[in-house]
Amino acid sequence: MTASDLLNRLFMAVLTLAGVAVIVFCLLRIVPGDPIAMMISPSATPADIAALRAHYGLDLGLPQQFGIWFTDVLKGNFGTSISQRRDVMELIGERLPATLELAFAALVFGVLAGGVIATLGTLARRTALDPALDFINGLFLAVPDFVWALALVLLLGVFWPVFPLSGRIDPTLSTYFHTDFYLIESLVTFKFSAFGDLIAHMVMPMLALGLPLAAIVVRTLKEALAEAMVQDYVLLARLKGMSPLRLVLQEALRNAVGPTLTLTGVQFTFMIGGTVIVERIFSYPGLGNMAIDAVINRDLPLIQGIVLTFGAIFILVNILVDLIAAWLNPRNAHG
Amino acid sequence: MTQPLVAIEGLSAISTRDGGAPVLRDVSLTLEKGEVRGLVGESGAGKSTIAKALLGILPSTVKVTGGFIRFEGRDLLTMPRRELSDIMGRDITLIPQDPQTALNPARRIEAQLTDGLRLKLGMSKKDAHQRALQLLDEVQIRNPDRVLAAYPHELSGGMRQRILIASAFALNPKLVVADEPTTALDVTVQKEILRLIRRMQEAHGTAVIFVTHDLGVVAKICDRVTLLYAGKVIEHGATVDMLTAPRHVYTRALIAAGPRYDRPNAGLEPVPEAVFRQLRAEVGLAERGI
């Protein structure tokens, strides 16, 4: 991808985000539920309600409301949360790191686990292991993240309680952090007890989000590897005495990884969406969990801020995937 | 007489996918050191199966039902895997058909050209680099440094085929199996590549099994020819004899069916149906054919 391609993509990204902003704004005004009704006490008079409406600008026309909000957003001001009375950007800034750490861990797990199993499956071609693997993988493909979450809660939280059931970290440890990237901070500052505790809390939500990704990686990558393994260049390398593992990793993998990479990008954005329900199940204090609270409270500015943040992540991930794909393929790099 | 390099004796094979249909019928042929042998036939004649058997890469759908392939006296078909993989890629190598698919698009030429040197001979990276430069010089590639650093898509088809030839001769093999190496190239490049294979073969004293369906190609490069039909040897012989005085009616018909340089304007004759009837009877095929 050339620099002008990249600029083009970034420009399109801004346009897309603007589109997302319009849609979110309109949708939230269509769905039933009144933020004011959630705030007032039963004793409030109609005059109080009207005053509150005017205070939040909800008495203005929709285009006008959108204009005010959108100009503020362009200035980097996402407004004030109605339910928490705090700056939306600040709230998102506190929660986003937790979600990013979780999603990234799930991504790494899914890709590594999927990659290893796809490689083993490719090495085991034409043995009984291969169809068995496909069958098991088929089952894994059919199970969505929230079902994994519930199954894991039962299995590793209740029947065989090895991992903590909820939260991100033991509350007594969380006060020591300077940033909200606990996992990274604990690692670079050598706080290994905190790191271990963070990992223990993360294992189950990470598995819930990562296992479906792993299953998809296995299927796509294995198919692409099988196609690459029958190419003439693999045959020639085999004749030259290359070991089966090197044949897969060095000859086939780089040519087979394209479709998997693209799909992983798409899956990762789905996974970010999946954090909403999975974080809720594990009471993990991330952005997704906050999104549900925001929706329950009809906290319009907060919902808008969160959705725009998710949108920005989706777009950035897709650009990143294209960049990696271009870097992996020598044709793109030179063409 | 000394022992031949390759002696195929009574080789028979069936296709397990095709209800046990024979793909090779009692094929015998010998190959002397340094000889270029054409394996000629239409598709399904068994020429590729013989080539694959020589390389130990028969697909799982082909089952050998009898015979031997002796390479320097040792049977490749019953040889332990380890010994076989010692021979393959060192003593027996392959020039593949399609230079588009025979080079890994994601690896630089140097890595692919030196794989065999490093894996089979245990050469250091530096020595292998020197040898690669020599090899590229041998196959007449100019600015070898640039080519070694290139990816396959940056090179032309003819260039890639030269690299594959260099790679096939890199370890001074005793036998090179050339699987229709000019089919995917255009005609002007074809001639150069044929000449190059011939020159490399003479310089290295290597025997070549040249698989092709093109008698014109055979005339240019092969010392001797084996003509196959439906897995059976129809005619063996020195190229000159076979092209000037074919004994079998099928050989005669094939020659008549191809263009001739000495008579460029003469019409091409398709192989008459009667010839196929005779072939099927000889081979033992049912009347309706394959």
pLDDT tens digit string along A311-333? 999 888 888 888 888 887 767 65
Residue in chain B closest to A258 (alpha carbons) equals: B106
Subunit contact A330:B116, Cβ cutoff 8 A: no
Q: What is the pLDDT of residue B111?
A: 94
Q: How confident is the model at residue B265 (pLDDT cuts 50, 70, 90)?
A: low
CA distance B201 to chain A (A): 19
Is pLDDT of B1 > 60? no
Q: What percent of chain B has pLDDT over 90?
A: 58
Sort out which chain A residues have CB atoms less than 8 A from B132's CB and list them: none
Sort out which chain A residues have CB atoms less than 8 A from B170's CB and list them: none
Is pLDDT of A161 > 50? yes
Residues of A at the B interface (Cβ-Cβ below 8 Å)? Answer: 126, 231-242, 250-251, 254-255, 328-331, 334
List C-alpha distances in Å: B126 to B129, B131, B183. Answer: 5, 9, 35
Residue in chain A closest to B122 (alpha carbons) equals: A241
Residue in chain A closest to B151 (alpha carbons) equals: A330
Burial A189-206 (b: 16+ CB within 10 A, else e): eebeebbebbeebbbbbb
Mean pLDDT across chain A: 88
Q: Which of B89, B98, B101 is facing A241, going by the closest CB pair?
A: B89
Q: Which of B101, B112, B151 is facing A231, going by the closest CB pair?
A: B101
Subunit contact A241:B116, Cβ cutoff 8 A: yes
Sorted by sequence, the CB contacts under 8 Å of residue A81 that are 6+ apart come out as: A87, A88, A91, A294, A299, A301, A302
Structure tokens at A178: 């300077």
Closest CA to B95 of B203, B183, B168: B168
Record the pTM. 0.82
* Cβ pair B238, B226 in contact under 8 A: no
Sort out which chain A residues have CB atoms less than 8 A from B96's CB and list them: 232, 235-236
Structure tokens at A15: 């346009």
Sort out which chain A residues have CB atoms less than 8 A from B85's CB and list them: 241
How many contacts, defined by CB atoms under 8 Å, are there between A and B? Answer: 66
CA distance B90 to chain A (A): 7
Q: What is the pLDDT of residue B289?
A: 44
pLDDT tens digits, B162-211: 999 999 999 999 999 999 988 878 888 888 999 999 999 999 999 999 99
CA distance B94 to chain A (A): 7
CA distance A233 to chain B (A): 4
Residue in chain B closest to A250 (alpha carbons) equals: B107
pLDDT tens digits, B116-135: 999 999 999 999 999 999 99
- Adjacent-strand bridge partners of B228: B233
3-state secondary structure chain B: CCCCCEEEEEEEEEECCCCCEEEEEEEEEEECCCCEEEEECCCCCCHHHHHHHHHCCCCCCEEEEEEEEEECCEECCCCCHHHHHHHECCCEEEECCCCCCCCCCCCCHHHHHHHHHHHHHCCCHHHHHHHHHHHHHHCCCCCHHHHHHCCHHHCCHHHHHHHHHHHHHCCCCCEEEEECCCCCCCHHHHHHHHHHHHHHHHHHCCEEEEEECCHHHHHHHCCEEEEEECCEEEEEEEHHHHHHCCCCHHHHHHHHHCCCCCCCCCCCCCCCHHHHHHHHHHHCCCCCCC
Q: What is the pLDDT of residue A53?
A: 83
CA distance B66 to chain A (A): 24
Q: What is the mean pLDDT of residues B35-64?
A: 90
Q: How confident is the model at residue B35 (pLDDT cuts 50, 70, 90)?
A: very high
pLDDT tens digits, A253-310: 988 998 898 899 889 988 998 999 999 999 999 999 999 999 998 888 899 999 999 9
Is pLDDT of B286 > 60? no
Sort out which chain A residues have CB atoms less than 8 A from B60's CB and list them: 126
Residue in chain B closest to A230 (alpha carbons) equals: B101
Q: What percent of chain B has pLDDT over 70?
A: 94
- Mean pLDDT is highest, among A135-139, B183-187, B275-279, for A135-139
Q: CA-to-CA distance for A81 and A60, rounded, in angstroms? A: 19
Q: What is the pLDDT of residue A108?
A: 95
Q: What is the mean pLDDT of residues A120-142?
A: 91
Is pLDDT of A223 > 90? yes
Sort out which chain A residues have CB atoms less than 8 A from B55's CB and list them: 239
| Range in A38-42, A186-190, A227-231 with the lowest mean pLDDT | A38-42
Subunit contact A239:B153, Cβ cutoff 8 A: no
Is pLDDT of B96 > 50? yes
Subunit contact A239:B57, Cβ cutoff 8 A: yes
Q: What is the pLDDT of residue B151?
A: 93
Is pLDDT of B138 > 60? yes
| Range in A161-170, A303-312, B101-110, B196-205 with the lowest mean pLDDT | A161-170
Q: What is the mean pLDDT of residues A204-223?
A: 95
Q: What is the mean pLDDT of residues B203-228?
A: 91
Q: What is the pLDDT of residue B261?
A: 62
Residue in chain B closest to A240 (alpha carbons) equals: B89
Q: What is the pLDDT of residue B267?
A: 66
